[in-house]
Structure 1
Amino acid sequence: MTTTFPNPRADRLRELLAGDDLLLSPCCYDALSARMIEQAGFEMSFMSGFAASASRIGMPDLGLMSYGEVLDHTRNIAEATRLPFVADGDTGYGNAMNVIRTVKGLGRAGAAAVMIEDQVAPKRCGHTPGKAVVSRDLAYDRIRAAVDARQEQDVLILARTDARHDHGLGEAMERAAMFHELGADIIFVEAPQSEAEMRRICDELPGPQMANMLEGGATPILPHAELRDIGFRIAAYPLTLLSAVMATAVETLAALREDRVETGRLMEFGELRDRIGFNDYYTRADRYES
Structure 2
Amino acid sequence: MQTPADNLRALLARGDLITMPCCFDALSAKLIEQEGFGLTFMSGFATSAARIGEPDLGLMSYGEVLDQARNITDAVSIPVIGDGDTGYGNAMNVRRTVAGFAKAGCAAVMIEDQLAPKRCGHTKGKEVVGRDEAFDRIKAAVDAREAGADILILARTDARHQHGLAEAIDRAAKFAELGADILFVEAPKSVDEMRTLCAALPGAKMANIVEGGETPDLTPEELKEIGYQIAAYPLSLMAAAMKAMVETLQLMKAGKPRGDMLMDWPELRQRIGFDAYYEESERYASSKRG
TM-score of the superposition, structure 1-length normalised?
0.97
Partner of 1:225: 221
The yes-or-no answer on 1:69 pairing with 2:41 is: no
Name the count of aligned residue pairs.
285
Q: Secondary structure at the match of 2:204?
A: coil
Q: Pick from 45, 48, 51 the counterpart of residue 46 of structure 2.
A: 51
What amino acid sits opposite 2:15 in the alignment?
A: D
CA distance in 1, matches of 2:129, 2:161: 13
1:263 to partner: Cα distance: 1.2
- Conserved? CA contact 1:7–1:155, under 8 Å: no
What amino acid sits opposite 2:204 in the alignment?
A: P
Partner of 2:242: 246
Partner of 2:267: 271
CA deviation profile, 1:150-171 (whole Å, cap 9, x unmatched): 1221100000000000100000
Structure 1, unaligned runs of 5 or more: 1-5
1:20 to partner: Cα distance: 1.8
CA distance in 2, matches of 1:238, 1:264: 26
1:265 to partner: Cα distance: 3.1
Partner of 1:184: 180
Partner of 2:154: 158
Partner of 1:133: 128
Q: Secondary structure at the match of 1:188?
A: strand
Deviates more, 1:6-15 or 1:221-230: 6-15
What amino acid sits opposite 2:88 in the alignment?
A: Y
| Amino-acid identity (%) | 63
The yes-or-no answer on 1:102 pairing with 2:97 is: yes
- Conserved? CA contact 1:74–1:106, under 8 Å: yes
- Conserved? CA contact 1:47–1:85, under 8 Å: yes
1:41 to partner: Cα distance: 0.4
Q: Pick from 36, 43, 55 the counterpart of residue 41 of structure 1.
A: 36
- Conserved? CA contact 2:165–2:188, under 8 Å: yes
Structure 2, unaligned runs of 5 or more: none
CA distance in 2, matches of 1:261, 1:143: 53
Q: Secondary structure at the match of 2:195?
A: helix
CA distance in 2, matches of 1:40, 1:7: 22
Partner of 1:3: none
- Conserved? CA contact 1:7–1:112, under 8 Å: no
CA deviation profile, 1:129-178 (whole Å, cap 9, x unmatched): 00100000000000000001112211000000000001000000000000
Q: Secondary structure at the match of 2:41?
A: strand
Partner of 1:144: 139
CA distance in 2, matches of 1:94, 1:134: 12
Partner of 2:8: 13
1:7 to partner: Cα distance: 6.8
Q: Secondary structure at the match of 1:65?
A: coil
Partner of 1:85: 80
Partner of 1:201: 197
TM-score of the superposition, structure 2-length normalised?
0.97
Moved over 2 A (4+): none
CA distance in 1, matches of 2:187, 2:80: 21
